[in-house]
Structure 1
C-alpha cells in the first residue's frame, strides 16, 4: 500500500491518478487550505500528483494502515525526524530512481509526479495493509435524503453532489468540479465520511509564518457518512495511532460504507 501527498490548490489541479485511490483523506494545512493524502492498494497508477510535502497529520493517519510507503516531496526540517522515525516507510524522489518526473506544463512546486509502479519496484511494502476500521455493507436504516453537501475550511471548501446515475458523490474543490483524464471526467466517491476533528498547532511554519495545524485523529468525535444519496449521523472513535477508526451510529451500531472509493474529509470541529 502506498500513500501519496497531493497538492489541493487551484494551481495543482486537475490531479493525476487520484481517481484510482482506494481512500482519499482531505487534510487541513496552514493558511486554512487543504491537501490530499491518497492511499493506493488495488491499483498503482503510472502517474500520480502533483506530489507535495509531508505533514504531521499524515503520520497520525497512516499509523492505522500498518507499514505503507509515504510518497512525498520533502518536509519542513522540524518535521523530518517525526516522519522518518514513524512506523511507516518514507520515500522521497532520490529513493526511487526513475519513479518521479517534472511536468513542463506547470511551475514548481506543483509539477512533480510519481509512477507508483516504479516506487513499488524500488520500495516494496513489507506487509499487507491492516484493517483501518471501515465496514462495507447494505445501506443502514434511516438517514436523510441529501443531494449536496459543502464542507468548509477557513480558506477552502469541499463540495459533494450526489449523482444517481453513477451511484456516487461528485467531488468539487472550491466550487469547481474535480476532473481527471483527457476527457475531464468528474472525480467521484461512493462514500464520503466527514470526520470532525480538533486541531492543534505543530512546530512547523510556512514561509509566511503561518502555523501548520495537526488534525487529531485519535480520540472520538462527531461524523457524517454520506452514501446512496443519504446522510447518516455518526460517531468516530480511535483508541491509539495504530488502531482502526470505528464509525458507529448514534445508537452504537457499526455504520457500513458503500462498496467502492472512500473519501474522508477531516473537517475542523465546532
Structure 2
C-alpha cells in the first residue's frame, strides 16, 4: 500500500515535467524544417497563424498600368504572376490566413487558372467573368466559382477609377456566399526554413513577358525583395512598396490556348503540371532549383539540384510563371 502511494506521488510530481518536455519537443522537433504540416503555421507562408487550415480564396487581379496600385495584395499568402493576351500580365492572389477588407481591381479568369488552382483542392475563385466559350470548362471544374452573379453582395464598383479597372471584392463576404466544401489551406509542396547551402549573391532579377516586365530588388533593410512593374516601383494602395521574402521564378511552357479575346489576341496557357527549372530568390541570394508537379491534383515541389527540398523564407511568396 505504501509503495502504491509513493508511486502515485512520484507520478503526480513527474506529470507536469513530462508535459513541459513534450511541449518543448513539439516546438523544437517534429516538422522543424518548416514543412506544410507544421502545427500552427500556414502551409502557404510558414508563418504562425490563427487558423492554418482556413478556407482558400483565390482572386484574379488586374495588372495593367491603369489598374495599379492594387488593393489588398500585400496581405495575400501567395501571388502568382501570369501572362495573358498581348503579352500583358495578371495576378492570381491566394488568401487563407489573412483576409483584407477589400481586394482588387478584380478581372476575368483564364483556362490555365483552373489547372493552377487544382493543387489547392477545391478552393473558391473570385473573378469578374469569363468569355462564353470558357464557361463549360469553368463549371465542370471542382473550383468553387464566385463571379459577381454568384456573390453579388461581395462586389462593388469604385468611383475613383473607370471601368473595367474599378471592380473590388470583399473577401469575407465572398466566402460567406460560397457553397459548402471550399477546401482549407493544406500542404501544396512549399517548404520553409533555413536557406540551403550554396546559391549566388544576387540583389536584382528581372522577368520579361512580351508586353510586361518585372524586376525584384533585394532590400537588406526590409528583409524582402521589392517589386518593380514595367519600370516603376510597385506599391500598395496605401503607398507602401510591394515585396516578399521569397520570389520563385518558375519557368513553364507558355503556349497558345483554344481561346482568344475580342481584339483577336490568342489567350496564352501557362502549363503548371510537369517539371522544369526555377530560380528561388531569398536573403539576397539566388538558388537554382527544380520544380515538379506530376498531376493537376498534386502540389508543386521545389528541390535543389542535389534533390534536397528547396526551402523558402517565411512570409508571402511570389511565384512568377515565367516563359521557359
TM-score range, shorter chain: over 0.9
DSSP-derived class of the 1:233 partner: strand
Q: 1:39 aligns with which of 67, 72, 94?
A: 94
- List alignment gaps of at least 5 residues for structure 1: none
Alpha carbons of structure 1 residues 125 and 58: separation in structure 2 relative to 1, 3 Å: farther
| Aligned position for 1:111 | 166
Number of matched pairs: 268
Is residue 2:284 matched to residue 1:229?
Answer: yes
Verify the 8 A CA contact 1:72 1:91 in the aligned structure 2. Answer: yes
Verify the 8 A CA contact 1:78 1:203 in the aligned structure 2. Answer: no
Is residue 2:193 matched to residue 1:137?
Answer: yes
Paired with 1:74 and 1:262, the residues of 2 have a C-alpha distance of: 26
| Aligned position for 2:120 | 65
Verify the 8 A CA contact 1:27 1:57 in the aligned structure 2. Answer: no
Aligned-residue CA RMSD (Å): 1.0
Moved more, 134-143 or 197-206: 197-206
Paired with 1:208 and 1:200, the residues of 2 have a C-alpha distance of: 18
State the Cα deviation string for residues 9-50 of structure 1 (Å, max 9, x = none): 101100000000000000011101110000001111111010
| Aligned position for 2:226 | 170
State the Cα deviation string for residues 194-233 of structure 1 (Å, max 9, x = none): 0000122112111210100100011011100000110000
| Aligned position for 1:2 | 57
Larger helix percent: 2
Alpha carbons of structure 1 residues 141 and 211: separation in structure 2 relative to 1, 3 Å: same
Bigger Rg, which one: 2
| Aligned position for 1:30 | 85
Report matched runs for 1:1-270 at 5 Å. 1-123=56-178, 126=181, 127-182=183-238, 184-269=239-324
Q: So what's the TM-score if we normalise by structure 2?
A: 0.81
Give the deviation of 1:125 after TM superposition. Answer: 5.8
Paired with 1:102 and 1:146, the residues of 2 have a C-alpha distance of: 41
Q: So what's the TM-score if we normalise by structure 1?
A: 0.97
Give the deviation of 1:117 after TM superposition. Answer: 1.1
Moved over 4 A (4+): none
